[in-house]
Structure 1
């Protein structure tokens, strides 16, 4: 191999932690010395622009386009992503080669023990259309304000009194060693974002050597579930404005998929589930069912 193997990553503390997890997994799988893998930090537009919602300025591509450019230019051999931040439709020249074992998929509420325990009219900071809609559905009295930034930034905003509470992914908090921060919300109360808790690694589609090296660290169960959740997004033609939650699970050969679509203000929603051996077929069937039953306020947010 060409040394070093260059692994592209964003520069936030969580992104670097996840990139180090990938480096450690690659070195363990192949018996490489740790300095065989070099982390290449690439600053993304999503990191630079913090005062507007992603949906207003380009969506999930703001987390990936700079890493995509570096990958396709040969400046890096692979790129590490939080899979929930990766657009549903990817360039044909880029392939998802592996996913690490999935962590806790739940959201954590910081500022109260439960959503029900939040004071009347409490201010909750989030930039996620899904979280905002779910909160409004559970508690129409809540006021949602924009919270952008990495984990430390959002916790600092909360400490400064910019909101009464916020939501963060349990997986990210755990990976940063903050497993005691916040209260986990059961998935029966708030279904997570598709692919939440999963770390993916992409390579150039025509780079067979890199694909082989990275594929050696793939967790098949995580890949099967996350690919089904992403297939649901594709079948729904969801975009960054579409509040959608989904979670797949596998029992034996059967994959089960639950999902919820919501109006932006939480005033309407539709939920359902499907199962079968083929995750993509399950996703397509569930998408068809949900869209057929969705109220107009929900349906208009899907289908492109």
Structure 2
């Protein structure tokens, strides 16, 4: 077993100032829940990446089906951007976070340290999306094309570089256009760019909207991870039982969603994400075809259980961030990732 205490130092002093504004911003918790309810359940908060969407159905199912309560927890959901989530968890402002794994690696490499305690998405969700009319049938076809990414420091910019490198090209061979997440998909639809590197889930939304779109998954070129559960090293060291309880309930929520995808989606839309009303059938298909088959489950989870990390894959993702300049130096995946059977 790893020496958990070796990784127990908290970066609180380093990040408190940086996280004060984020912790008090709309959509964040402003402080971690603590204490117990009259029924004996422990109050905890998890801060989730982005906003409430039906794809977070396993978390919602864990609450609505009583799995959290059965495991002694009263879980509150709040929402924020990935980088803010990592800072808030590291500083102890929230108990758990559910950001993109790439954000966790970048922050750790910059001294904002958390621990991944549940590798929920076993692979990344990035993809190169283009309209068929663009003539981009392979990475080699990107030469001279305009490609949008959300930010020059974002994971999808790294994914683009990895794709180009596989074809013997580099960033100078394309025209890169940074666009915010709120407009990047419309830029592709309207023909303002030839391609975008963004979430593979948008492929299905574009298809449903009648756009003749194609995709090349970035995970083939750069191993990465979508949303994962993080907590502070202090929590791992001092309160492993709460982490284990959370993981157990969350695992039950994933299992429920795999077995009852439409019911889980309907509940999520009705109680948490009403703006998705009318899209339940399409979302259920995505849950079945993408999340169940490729994201929540893998050869690793089949052998070890849901949420179990492939440490070698994590190491490749960490080393890639160093090689593309997102972090100054690499570090050991074992220092970042804590497997469920390594908790106290």
TM-score normalised to structure 1 length? 0.54
* Distance of 1:162 and 1:148 partners within structure 2: 11
Higher strand residue share: 1
1:211 corresponds to: 243
Residue 111 of structure 1, CA deviation? 2.4
CA-to-aligned-CA distance 1:182-218 (integer Å, 9 cap, x gap): 323267xx7243224x320112323324311222135
Distance 1:77 1:116, change over 3 A: closer
Hey, what's the Cα distance between the residues in 2 that align with 1:167 and 1:40?
27
The 5 A counterparts of 1:127-206 are 127=152, 128-135=157-164, 138=167, 142-150=173-181, 152-170=182-200, 172-173=201-202, 182-185=213-216, 191-196=220-225, 198-204=226-232, 205=236, 206=238
Measured on the aligned residues, the alpha-carbon RMSD in Å equals 4.2
What secondary structure is seen at the aligned counterpart in 2 of 1:87?
A: helix
1:10 correspondence with 2:70: no
How far apart are the structure 2 equivalents of 1:108 and 1:25? 33
C-alpha separation between the residues in 2 aligned to 1:129 and 1:139? 15
> Could you say what secondary structure the match of 2:322 adopts?
coil
1:23 maps to which residue?
60
Secondary structure in 1 aligned to 2:183?
Answer: helix
Name stretches of at least 5 consecutive residues in structure 2 with no aligned partner. 1-35, 252-295, 328-332, 335-344
Residue equivalent to 1:289: none
Aligned to 2:100: 82
Distance 1:125 1:177 in 2: 18
* Matching residue within 118, 122, 136 for 2:145: 122
CA distance 1:143–1:169, shift in 2 (3 Å): same
Deviation digits for residues 87-114 of structure 1, max 9, x if unmatched? 1647696321212254675624222362
State the TM-score, normalizing by the size of structure 2: 0.48
Partner of 1:286: none
Give aligned pairs, total.
216
Instruction: Tell me, yes or no, if the aligned pair for 2:145 and 2:194 is still in contact at 8 Å.
Output: yes
Give unmatched runs, 5+ long, in structure 1: 45-62, 244-278, 281-304
Instruction: Check the 8 A contact 2:127/2:216 in 1, yes or no.
Output: yes
Map of 1:37 onto structure 2: 75
Which structure has greater helix proportion? Answer: 2
